Structure 1
Amino acid sequence: MPRGLAALIGVLAVGAALGAGHVVAGLVSPSSSPYLAVGDTVIRFSPQWLTEFAKTTFGTADKPVLLGGMAVVIALVAAAAGIASRRNPGPGVAVVVVLGVLGFLAVLFVPVFAPLDLVAPLASLLAGVLVFRFLHGLALRTYAAAAAGPSGGPAVSRRGVLIGSSAAVGVGALAAGAGGLFLGRGIEDSRAQVTARLAALTGVQRAPAIPAGADYAAELGTTRFVTPNPDFYRIDVALRIPTRSAADWRLRIHGMVDNEMTLTFDDLLRRPLVEKTITMMCVSNEVGGPLISTANFIGVSLRDILLEAGVRPGAQQVFTTSIDGWTAGTPTDVIMEPGRHALLAVGMNGEALPPEHGFPVRMVVPGLYGFVSATKWIADMELTTFDARQPYWLQRGWAQQAPIKTQSRIDSPRGFSTVPAGKVAIAGIAWSQPTGISKVEVRMDGGPWRVADLATEVSGDTWRMWRTEFDLAPGSHTVQTRATDRNGRTQTEMRADPIPDGATGWPATIFNVS
């Protein structure tokens, strides 16, 4: 058969396999999609330098880039397999089987494997082999008939059947993949129910309203104090957002405790709920970077839950596992600080947690970088020692202890922007959780430091806005900042990369005045 048709048959067969696996996973176990399981395996075993390159280069688009790159590679392999099978289906079937086995193994070794997860990769393998053999056999019969008989006879009708079958397989593969995605979207019904329940609850200890003087956004167009949910930064390793309804959620608390507990979502809502305004930050944030946001979180005091469980002496870390198998280790003594406000959060900015931010329940611990404190889609909590269990990022070279460092950021003017000559407003944010910010200094073009005006403080758990003005002549200018916390510790000038425990240095912005 022609090379182009042979390549198309290979691509269609593998596409049908991926689509079948995806739709069966949507019906049986969303985490068992072979395609996504292979992507998760790539993430788990990628070297640290490659992981950081992806995060810094592509930001929150790193997952689509990975999945797109996988699709290209798989399509090329499938096309090559088809071309190698122009006369004999053996090579193509072998490649489909090998890809199927790789998907099977990827699912088998996911951190949260269950026997039912094998249904999707088996369906994927079976669909791929059957579709390849069917299309390959039909193509060979069509072109053999065309070579042996007069044109316009049965070969023409067979060619029409071949084209129609190929088109049907292609459409079916796309529909199956889309169906798998659609099946995972039913979680929105559960979210809507949770949002309604949170709105109807009485007795919730609400966070104080944000003072008018805490936010310069209306005046200067800078960062809003509370980040809208769609704009809240997202960094995680989940290729597919876990889809578990609130009704099906469970949290097991065990290990070095006196009373093992298993909590349901209703158990949480029957407890005293508190709303806290909290700034969260990713340890991968570069100096002056965007991976920091603030929200009003509603949840249950994690300290109170652990007091009820009875933490035994020597329990150094709260080792948490998410629904998709990601793990974090949070220092127990930090969570147990009376004023730390660590939460098992169920709501964010007046609604249920968005799926990408941990629905139905996540951890939030102010003052610690997210990789040691902010487990999304939390499903298990074990009190243990640091030696006994090593969480996901600690295994990859990151720190065990990761308190958020005193930092600042320049939001206005933007880098390489042009502003009119005269008085130029310089503004931004600073943070030092849970201590709070006492001073921000700004200097222009390496000159003397000038103390900036600070916005009204909301709490030590949040960022603080700052602003000042400089009278500037036309030309290029460089502005720098540094912050000081309430204990008198000033942000260090020493530059350090995010790994292992957060970036340091003074942020600087270059802009033009005309």
Structure 2
Amino acid sequence: MAILVELLAIAAAVASGHLVAALVAPASSPFVAVGDAVVRLSPQPVVEFAKSAFGTADKPVLLAGIGVLLVLLGALAGLAARRRPAVGTAVVAALGLLAVAAVLTGPVPVATDLAAPVVALVVGVAVQRGLDRLARRHGGTRAGSGDGVPRRTVLAGASAAVAAGTLVAGGAGLALSSSGSGIAASRAALTGRLAAATLAETAPPVPASAAFPQLGTVPFVTPNADFYRIDVALTIPAVRAEDWSLRVHGRVGRELVLTVDDLLRRPLVQRTITMTCVSNTVGGNLVSTADFVGVELAPLLLEAGVDPSADQIVSTSRDGWTAGTPTATVLEPGRGALLALGMNGEALPVEHGFPVRMVVPGLYGYVSATKWLADIELTTFAARSVYWRDRGWAERAPIKTQCRIDAPVGFSKLPAGRVQVAGVAWAQPVGITAVEVRADDGPWVRAELATEVNPNTWRMWRAELDLSPGSHTLTARATDRRGLVQTDVRVDPIPDGATGWPSTIVTVV
């Protein structure tokens, strides 16, 4: 019974804290706040292991792990409380204080954030003490409670009531947090405003000859639902477009504070851009392309008056994550860095940064693609470090020339003869001029390139190889517009992106 008491107390604390957080500040949910603290404080090797082992499922795995740990702690505390009742209360209280500490040490804590962990602490201790007293007072199996009600019935009723309350509170918290407090309506309204806006620049239509989907390549423009997502947010920041603002400050002539309305009054441009994650391994799929609509960042910064000494732009997300972007890259003529509001014909999806995110072509996302943008500070690399740089990643990270084999898929069985090989290559913002493919150690065969959309996007390719029966290793390499041939030297993603030739093994019968 002592184990059940501990588990119910912990569950009640988590549920009540989540409900209060949904009403006040979703990120202050004790369960989520502790998870965020684990992400923030984990050493770089642990972070890399999680990303390589679980990929985009790392966040659900982390939360599930925390849940399992809570159950184990509850069970152990219950066993210990059989002899020392104070242990049970102490464990629940310690977990509550841990949640308070996680919130207080968060990136941007405010006073209201304490409401959820404090409520969780109080509820958890109250439930544990109350059920423990009932268990010790009514734990007998034969005698009555004094009013004709069996003692076991009293305890079972109290436990059932706590369990029911926990389910209701937890369910309500989940429902409120998933509803997004008007985010869906805000997105719909912004989508309508973007559709009605007159664009100062429209991206040319993507021609059918820009991709080879019939051969197994991905679509040229990635649907929003399939666009890769890599970030450290356990809870997606929920900010309505109507409530959003951006502060531009630091080493500037004058500070700017901008709203979504301010951005919509500026010239809006549409750009087709391929984004790439630095964690993408050789041949990986953490690369996607979208039509973004937004405001050019360079003119906005020039309006603020960038001090010549400011070589870094530190952008901060609503969840406290930071990125450091070279100022010179953003201000480079023709670079096309954006404060994006739209993506593939609608307002940004919430998981991709609604209402506003940064998009800087040619740089890996960890130094350029801040989602849920809240703050831009002009500073220096010497004066301020940022999230991933603190964890061993490089200060600057231009995208490397890479390619990928999409078809045939690895370990396919193919008929002997002519085999179609297809894939994608990228070298933003330079562009791809050639891709070559070979079987085993045979001669390189130049692939046919699809129509180039612009140098800031990937480029599809296809080739034909004559393959005899047996096992074959297919390898590809790309060449960019500078004449730089993709290196065969295999390097892991850390600290500034992977290199190496992609390959796949097939069997010809």
Smaller-chain TM-score range? Answer: over 0.9
Of 33, 36, 40, the residue aligned with 2:36 is 40
**Matched residue, 1:474:** 469
Which moves more between the two structures, 174-183 or 493-502? 174-183
Summarize the alignment of residues 417-432 of structure 1 with structure 2, pairs less than 5 Å apart: 417-432=412-427
Distance 2:327 2:129 in 1: 58
The alignment's C-alpha RMSD in Å is 1.7
Distance 2:166 2:176 in 1: 16
**Matched residue, 2:53:** 57
Letter in 1 for 2:349: P
Indicate whether 1:199 and 2:204 are aligned. Answer: no
Indicate whether 1:172 and 2:175 are aligned. Answer: no
Residues 462-485 of structure 1: CA distance to partner in whole angstroms, max 9, x if unpaired? 000000011222221111111111
Distance 1:45 1:424 in 2: 49
Aligned residues: 509
Residues 172-212 of structure 1: CA distance to partner in whole angstroms, max 9, x if unpaired? 35324424533536311211111111111123522110011
Of 459, 478, 499, the residue aligned with 2:494 is 499
Distance 1:489 1:154 in 2: 83
Of 279, 285, 297, the residue aligned with 2:280 is 285
Of 433, 443, 448, the residue aligned with 2:443 is 448
Indicate whether 1:29 and 2:25 are aligned. Answer: yes
Which moves more between the two structures, 202-211 or 281-290? 202-211
**Matched residue, 1:143:** 139
Of 445, 459, 462, the residue aligned with 1:464 is 459
Residues 396-437 of structure 1: CA distance to partner in whole angstroms, max 9, x if unpaired? 110011000001100000111222222110000111111101
CA drift at 1:151 = 13
Distance 1:162 1:251 in 2: 50
- Contact conserved, 1:17 with 1:173, CA < 8 A, in 2? no
CA drift at 1:48 = 1.0
Summarize the alignment of residues 234-253 of structure 1 with structure 2, pairs less than 5 Å apart: 234-253=229-248
Letter in 2 for 1:7: I
**Matched residue, 1:312:** 307
Which moves more between the two structures, 32-41 or 137-146? 137-146
Of 256, 259, 266, the residue aligned with 2:261 is 266
Indicate whether 1:297 and 2:292 are aligned. Answer: yes
Residues 341-386 of structure 1: CA distance to partner in whole angstroms, max 9, x if unpaired? 1000001000111111101100000000000000001100000111
**Matched residue, 2:125:** 129
- Contact conserved, 1:328 with 1:372, CA < 8 A, in 2? yes
Gaps of 5+ in 2: none
Which moves more between the two structures, 139-148 or 401-410? 139-148
Measured at CA, do residues 183 and 210 of structure 1 come closer, stay the same or move farther in structure 2, by a change above 3 Å?
Answer: closer
Letter in 2 for 1:340: R
Residues 69-126 of structure 1: CA distance to partner in whole angstroms, max 9, x if unpaired? 0100011111222232236642111111100011000000101111111111101101
Of 181, 197, 212, the residue aligned with 2:208 is 212
**Matched residue, 1:255:** 250
- Contact conserved, 1:238 with 1:324, CA < 8 A, in 2? yes
Indicate whether 1:275 and 2:270 are aligned. Answer: yes
Distance 2:152 2:267 in 1: 74
Which moves more between the two structures, 158-167 or 394-403? 158-167
**Matched residue, 2:478:** 483
Distance 1:156 1:495 in 2: 66
CA drift at 1:170 = 4.1
**Matched residue, 1:17:** 13
Distance 2:181 2:463 in 1: 46
Distance 1:427 1:164 in 2: 60
Which moves more between the two structures, 416-425 or 84-93? 84-93
Of 60, 81, 103, the residue aligned with 1:107 is 103
CA drift at 1:502 = 0.4
Residues 241-262 of structure 1: CA distance to partner in whole angstroms, max 9, x if unpaired? 0001101111000011111100
Distance 2:39 2:156 in 1: 43
TM-score (ref. length: structure 1): 0.96
- Contact conserved, 2:251 with 2:377, CA < 8 A, in 1? yes
- Secondary structure (helix, strand or coil) at the match of 1:296 reads strand
Distance 1:262 1:401 in 2: 27
CA drift at 1:222 = 1.7
**Matched residue, 1:82:** 78
- Contact conserved, 2:19 with 2:169, CA < 8 A, in 1? no
- Contact conserved, 2:12 with 2:162, CA < 8 A, in 1? no
Which moves more between the two structures, 140-149 or 289-298? 140-149
- Contact conserved, 1:423 with 1:471, CA < 8 A, in 2? yes
Distance 1:153 1:437 in 2: 81
Indicate whether 1:364 and 2:359 are aligned. Answer: yes
**Matched residue, 1:388:** 383
**Matched residue, 2:154:** 158
Residues 423-452 of structure 1: CA distance to partner in whole angstroms, max 9, x if unpaired? 110000111111101111111111011111
- Contact conserved, 2:16 with 2:166, CA < 8 A, in 1? no
Distance 2:76 2:172 in 1: 24
- Contact conserved, 2:141 with 2:152, CA < 8 A, in 1? no
Indicate whether 1:94 and 2:90 are aligned. Answer: yes
- Contact conserved, 1:20 with 1:176, CA < 8 A, in 2? no
Distance 2:180 2:74 in 1: 27
**Matched residue, 1:332:** 327
CA drift at 1:46 = 1.0
Distance 2:444 2:493 in 1: 26
- Secondary structure (helix, strand or coil) at the match of 2:56 reads helix
Measured at CA, do residues 180 and 203 of structure 1 come closer, stay the same or move farther in structure 2, by a change above 3 Å?
Answer: closer
Letter in 1 for 2:33: A
- Secondary structure (helix, strand or coil) at the match of 1:494 reads coil
Measured at CA, do residues 142 and 82 of structure 1 come closer, stay the same or move farther in structure 2, by a change above 3 Å?
Answer: same
**Matched residue, 2:115:** 119
- Contact conserved, 1:18 with 1:173, CA < 8 A, in 2? no
- Contact conserved, 2:19 with 2:170, CA < 8 A, in 1? no
- Contact conserved, 1:344 with 1:364, CA < 8 A, in 2? yes
Distance 2:151 2:165 in 1: 21
Gaps of 5+ in 1: none
Distance 1:383 1:282 in 2: 24
Measured at CA, do residues 30 and 153 of structure 1 come closer, stay the same or move farther in structure 2, by a change above 3 Å?
Answer: closer
Of 62, 67, 82, the residue aligned with 2:63 is 67
